[in-house]
Structure 1
């Protein structure tokens, strides 16, 4: 059976490459990998972690634009079908719990490269799959919590770069999502404003944690933040002037989701004083994003201060940026800091500088 499938794959991979120029014809590997990924089911054990697609991404990114057009338009769009490919790729990310690390990163990169391809058929296909919920899911652990924002101090940290690789694909796809919403190609029900904000919240948290310990690493990715945020800022501003330019349901959900942590992120960005060349543009973009959503900074500051007891003082806790529903217990030493758990309190005491701050506050 596998031999028969293998023969079919080879035949299929030759199908579109047979009649094209020698330079492209000589490289049949990407086509073979695409067809392999398409035909082999997850149950077969050969593709359960998207390994064939992972290999395709490596070759695709090193290919010329002409070669990329062959696999994108001839094979994905015309032969397999753009929506078929995107649906299978989305399902693999949503349903395969073993899809983590670099293969998850390359699966998201593949989704980004394919869904963002400039072609009317691809735009229609991308509008029919739940891209934002897929991206938000990819940034979470199996229990639904956010993936840890582990950041290493070494400039060449593989783990930190992997976190950025995963998020950058998500951020770039959000531009595609915004464009299809604005053009009317994508139905609003396919996009969750909550998911859009959770993706940006994830990226800003990653940026904050990286800037605190390794600003040189953030420098490699700063442009992706501005490009993605500015796309949404532009559409939100147009929506203010003309409500027909963007779906109201998406804007309202996005605004509600951003309301709790937008100011907390802004405050933390301003606390980082050792990297103004990186934080200043990010602060400006984040301010513009909030303004486009209709936020008043002074009003948000007052709301934030009124919720200080609901904010965990440990910098790397999710509740440090977004207040919880319930108030936290305060530090018995200083009475100022609040913690959601003993683990966060211990982390802040050992690593966050509260040991010195607590004594200073008591004095």
Structure 2
């Protein structure tokens, strides 16, 4: 029995700024710091490969000293709105009603809320009362793909069912105003807020790319490379500068055995649907993939237009491929990385 992706829809928050318009806020934030350091930070923002980003808060709110509770309250309020809007769009694309969904997976790592956002959606959209719920918190940037892996396994075991994966992230709610470390600065330069929903189906007559295979790959002794530390002021980013090099070193083990078990090699892959973690990670994967005459232009474009929206970002890339009306038989490889450290992969056939 095959599982297919039938619809993907993104939803952006109401606030947005181009990077050039964020620089004045950065200048104010950096007042009192060494002038050379200030220039370095501005260059970092300008060279991050992100032209625009969206946010659940206006820029002056992001750069205002508020408590973790206040930021998290905004997160709780806004992510539910974005989740509902993206889900309604995806349902519209698939010509479905909320009651047509049997399994709901919500993923987010940039705030804390109990009950999770799926409970609010079930109530507001009057979804099935016996719908199966799975909220996922700690998978970080990899959660968009890992959520699809969970959905795929549920649907393979349950014919004639549908699942939705909803990824909503607000990294701006985790920004640390009093932290002038390079990790906090790099995070501020590359991350943005956003949401996306993807609907999957085990109905035989529904159309969309088929999931041929999926797998996770876990790096040993790399738990401290990426994640969040809960501090009094909120969620403080952990991001090791060795991440791109680590990905590069593991890339052959991540990709080749996975394709070989499907009787393929990398040359059989027509499209790489890759999570744009940041400019350096994108360049690393582009160097590895580009030697085979393939490109990750859609990944770079999503990073440029929206920044890294953690778990939701790879779904923005997927939506671009879904909208292309690709030739029948084309092969796509979804790939994302996240805390753990881990890589998630899905093999698709149009």
Q: Structure 2 length normalisation: TM-score?
A: 0.23
Highest CA radius of gyration, 1 or 2? 1
More strand by share: 2
Structure with a larger share of its residues in helix: 1
Kindly indicate whether structure 1 or structure 2 has the higher relative contact order, using CA contacts under 8 Å at least 6 residues apart.
Answer: 2
